[in-house]
Amino acid sequence: MIYTWGYTWFCVAVLFLGIYCMGRGIFIMVQVIRHKKDGDEIVKAMQLSIASVFIFSVGGYLFKNPPLEFSTVVLIGKLIATLTLVVFLHELGHLGAAKVLKVPTEEFSIGRGPILYKRKVKNTIFMFKLLPIGGYIKNNIKDLEKLSLLSNCFLSLAGIMVNLISFIFAIGVVFAQNGKSFIEGVVSASSKLPEIFHQFFIFLTNLPLNKVITPNNDLEHSVGAYISMANIVEHFWLGFALISFLLALMNLIPIPMLDGGKVVLAILESFLKVLKVPTKFINKLVYLLLLAGFAIYYAPFVINNLWAQSERIGFSLLEYTLWLLLFMSVVMNIVVYYENKYHRPIDK
């Protein structure tokens, strides 16, 4: 009875948190348009808006499905904690590599969206954010440009290396807990890595597009998929090993947004420099490839959610997209109106 009451209020709290994030994001955007806040605040507004989308998706799943059992809620908590730990170790690998290379780190962030906790230690700002999704470290671009190709690759791959070491160590622990040798587990995990990598890239190259771009992969359905994955952390070390390995595999995908893509870009940039290609051209090419990587990385997320939303209200994907573009056009016209009214740019 107490659990049911608490669960209901938790669902309501999730809904109100989503409303707050969206309302706060809109409020900040309006303040920027009215020149009462700096233009830089628009980034915070976007983070709050994106966070609200994720929170509403969680709330939608919770309201539309039977209440989760208490044991499942505990497992979800363990999954989030384990995922956060794995991401933390991944970013710690990048931070350690930056320290070795004597490259200053400006930001160390775990999660996405609004900041829950922030502290500056020496010259690095450490942040924990609302949504336990990914993380990053931020280095000065000028410092990165001074690195050699090998140093750049080492910095980009350091997080993956830490995840693989974590995987091998955790498998060793699992073997030891089952009465076998820790060393045997380490050797077994290490020996199977090349074959697993090979099978993973075969899987990626043969993955049908209709399995990636589909309304069934929208955020609300994804929440259900993640909840069903919570069982993998029932045994901590096994779950820790699997999540570490999955994060390493994902980051090896050669998309410029990910670590594997950064290595490809570094190699391409060095090759073009050897060919005496003008620096300005190289910088523009890298910028365009980064934009392309950003588009490839987020396109399935955007299309799948637009598609799912359009089906819920009885529109085709094209109709729904056109209405959204019309709405965005109206908003942009309002921005232009205020800009002309006050005779000054929006960004101070």
Top-confidence residue, 301 or 151? 151
DSSP letters spanning 219-282: HHHHHHHHHHGGGGGSSHHHHHHHHHHHHHHHHHS--TTSHHHHHHHHHHHHHHHHTT--HHHH
d(CA 8, CA 211): 34
pLDDT digits (tens, 9 = 90+) for 317-327: 888 788 877 87
How far apart, in whole angstroms, are the C-alpha atoms of residue 322 and residue 214? 19
Q: Give the integer Cα–Cα distance in Å for 81 and 243.
A: 11
In 3D, which of 259, 138, 167 has the Cα closest to residue 175?
A: 167
Residue pointed to by tokens 């990636």: 212
- pLDDT confidence band for 348 (50 / 70 / 90): very low
Alpha-carbon gap, residue 136 to 150, rounded angstroms: 21
Cα–Cα distance between 143 and 149 in angstroms, integer?
13
pLDDT tens-place string over residues 23-79: 887 787 777 766 666 656 666 777 777 777 778 788 878 877 788 888 888 888 898
Nearest to residue 90, comparing CAs of 171, 172, 189, 158?
A: 158
On average, the pLDDT of the chain sits at 83
pLDDT > 70: percent of the chain: 91
Per residue in 184-224, pLDDT tens?
999 999 998 888 888 888 887 787 777 777 877 777 777 77
pLDDT at 201: 82
Domain positions in the chain are 1-67
pLDDT band at 346 (very low <50, low <70, confident <90, very high): very low
Q: Which pLDDT belongs to residue 341?
A: 65
Separation CA 273–CA 270 (nearest Å): 5
Closest CA to 164 of 230, 88, 241: 241
